């Protein structure tokens, strides 16, 4: 298995999804702005996504993939099919109950998620409740997508699952275009239409993957839900995985609760989150999806050294793409925000407020990705409890920090506390793996990491200097001029970083390109 190529496959489709997501958010910013309708939609959209990331992605990515891979190896495709059917029936039952309860108690959920809305504006709270009821069934479709993705990834079919989220953004871009053309921009009806678009997109994604799984030879049926040993084992591993795998989403939820007490703060954090989620999504998701099946395979084969090699290469891959991105987010956040969002109802003051949050998130970007690198080492050994406890420490630091800093730094304090919590999590994961002997750095990674860091810092200095020189362009009222200036910044930064990496020996571009083309090298491992 070519790990770098799998990273690139997942990362490429994730990048496409994120870019379309930015286009979607540009349209949302233009047609909804940062007012009450925008806040209501973001909370409504965030609730099912929070449950999805915790229940479906967090639990399944940490528990289902190793168990399904074991069933496939020990009993072949027939045993794996029966295992998957048992899990599917139990999953759909749990999701149905969750969705029905959520629809009944939506006002309570909205109050817990955004208590500031209740005291601020009764109409805003009521609108949020309505939009949440429309969006929440999206959870069922997306949980099915997570389940089907786990199956495909275990069969080394990464592309189809990574492509599925693209459909969400295609549908919503189409809906938003219709909102703009129909003159509904800024109205409550726009929020309704957009919420129904979310519902439809979920159904389309699930249908796509269901067909793909069947085409790959696994025709699943839906037996009566039963409390089998497989379901018990998945639940035992999955419950801790909900916390360990979804800590970032929990922190975002807590931040939203606190931010709801400041006008516009929910939207500022949302737009900043969308920016830093691009590198986090491309790198973090690629690693999380591709690394776990590979580690599970090596450990089941008794290949401990191969597992160490895989982890070290994943660490290099993560930091090569994350460190320069983090430095750019910290040094030039306003330039990024102004080009992507400053138009229509989103003004210069909104740009500055969002940029400050983006810089704070940028500090934690490497940590958010490193959690994705280190956690699979526990999950592949069917240990989801240890990361759960560390996630608790992450939570404590984030919540206490957000409460302490909010009076002084407003929404920026929330973003900064989230970053500090993530670094706490990384420190605990790293120390425990080393203490247990479950991870060991090799000479290559020890030589490369300082050079990657040095190249990133030097690139940051170049980009910062160029940003100062381009300030007249960024202050221009024309979007094309500002976009050209940002393109110059990004292009210069990329060229400078990879040139510095090549000069310092931080990476071997020739070897990496060969791996991406599918050529095996002596250092590839299996």
State the pLDDT at residue 363.
95
Give the angle subtended at the CA of 236 by the CAs of 231 and 242, to the nearest 5°. Answer: 105
Is residue 35 classed exposed, middle or buried when 0-12, 13-18 and 19+ CB atoms within 10 A define those classes? Answer: middle
pLDDT tens for residues 83-105?
A: 889 989 998 998 899 899 989 99
Average of per-residue pLDDT values in the chain:
85
How far apart CA 11 and CA 367 sit, in angstroms, is: 18
Q: In the chain, what's the furthest Cα-to-Cα distance? A: 66
Is the CB of residue 272 less than 8 Å from the CB of residue 357? Answer: yes
Where is mean pLDDT largest: 108-112, 455-459, 480-484? 455-459
pLDDT band at 463 (very low <50, low <70, confident <90, very high): very high
State the pLDDT at residue 12.
86
pLDDT band at 251 (very low <50, low <70, confident <90, very high): low
Is the CB of residue 53 less than 8 Å from the CB of residue 206? Answer: no
DSSP string, 426-448: HHHHHHHHHHHTS----HHHHHH
How far apart CA 285 and CA 14 sit, in angstroms, is: 8
pLDDT tens for residues 269-282?
A: 888 988 888 788 78
Share of the chain above pLDDT 90, in %: 31
Tell whether the model's pLDDT for residue 327 goes beyond 60: yes
- Helix 411-436, helix 265-279: angle, nearest 10: 40
pLDDT tens for residues 126-166?
A: 888 989 899 888 888 888 988 898 888 888 888 888 888 88
342 backbone φψ class: left, alpha, beta (φ>0; ψ -120 to 50)? beta
State the pLDDT at residue 526.
35
């Amino acid at each position: 298995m070519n790990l770098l190529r799998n990273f690139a496959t997942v990362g490429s489709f994730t990048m496409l999804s994120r870019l379309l997501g930015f286009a979607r958010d540009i349209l949302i910013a233009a047609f909804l702005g940062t007012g009450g309708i925008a806040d209501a939609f973001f909370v409504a959209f965030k609730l099912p996504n929070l449950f999805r990331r915790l229940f479906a992605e967090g639990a399944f990515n940490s528990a289902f993939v190793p168990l399904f891979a074991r069933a496939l190896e020990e009993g072949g495709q027939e045993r794996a099919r029966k295992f998957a059917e048992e899990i599917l029936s139990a999953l759909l039952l749990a999701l149905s109950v969750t969705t029905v309860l959520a629809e009944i108690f939506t006002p309570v959920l909205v109050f817990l998620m955004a208590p500031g809305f209740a005291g601020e504006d009764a109409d805003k709270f009521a609108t949020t409740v309505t939009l949440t009821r429309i969006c929440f069934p999206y959870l069922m479709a997306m949980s099915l997508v997570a389940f089907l993705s786990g199956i495909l990834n275990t069969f080394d079919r990464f592309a189809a699952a990574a492509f599925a989220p693209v459909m969400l953004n295609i549908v919503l871009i189409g809906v938003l275009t219709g909102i703009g053309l129909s003159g509904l921009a800024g109205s409550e009806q726009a929020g309704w239409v957009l919420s129904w678009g979310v519902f439809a997109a979920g159904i389309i994604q699930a249908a796509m993957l269901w067909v793909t799984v069947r085409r790959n030879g696994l025709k699943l049926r839906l037996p009566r839900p039963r409390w089998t040993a497989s379901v018990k084992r998945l639940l035992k591993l999955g419950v801790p995985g909900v916390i360990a795998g979804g800590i970032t989403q929990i922190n975002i939820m807590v931040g939203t609760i606190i931010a709801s007490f400041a006008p516009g703060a929910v939207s500022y954090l949302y737009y900043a989150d969308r920016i830093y989620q691009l590198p986090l999504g491309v790198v973090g998701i690629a690693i999380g999806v591709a690394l776990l099946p590979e580690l599970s395979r090596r450990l089941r084969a008794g290949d401990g050294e191969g597992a160490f090699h895989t982890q070290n290469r994943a660490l290099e891959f993560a930091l090569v793409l994350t460190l320069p991105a983090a430095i750019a987010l910290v040094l030039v956040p306003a330039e990024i925000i102004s080009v992507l969002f400053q138009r229509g109802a989103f003004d210069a003051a909104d740009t500055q407020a969002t940029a400050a949050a983006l810089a704070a998130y940028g500090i934690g970007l490497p940590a958010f990705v490193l959690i994705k690198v280190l956690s699979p080492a526990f999950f592949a050994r069917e240990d989801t409890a240890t990361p759960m406890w560390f996630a608790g420490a992450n939570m404590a630091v984030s919540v206490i920090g957000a409460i302490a800093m909010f009076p002084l730094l407003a929404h920026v304090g929330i973003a900064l506390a989230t970053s500090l919590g993530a670094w706490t999590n990384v420190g605990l994961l790293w120390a425990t793996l080393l203490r247990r002997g479950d991870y060991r750095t090799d000479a290559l990674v020890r030589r490369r990491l300082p050079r990657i860091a040095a190249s990133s810092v030097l690139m940051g200095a170049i980009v910062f200097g160029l940003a100062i020189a381009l300030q007249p362009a960024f202050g221009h009222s024309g979007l094309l001029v500002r976009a050209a200036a940002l393109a110059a910044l990004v292009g210069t930064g990329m060229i400078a970083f990879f040139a510095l990496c090549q000069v310092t020996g931080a990476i071997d571009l020739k070897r990496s390109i060969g791996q991406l083309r599918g050529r095996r090298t002596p250092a590839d491992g299996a």
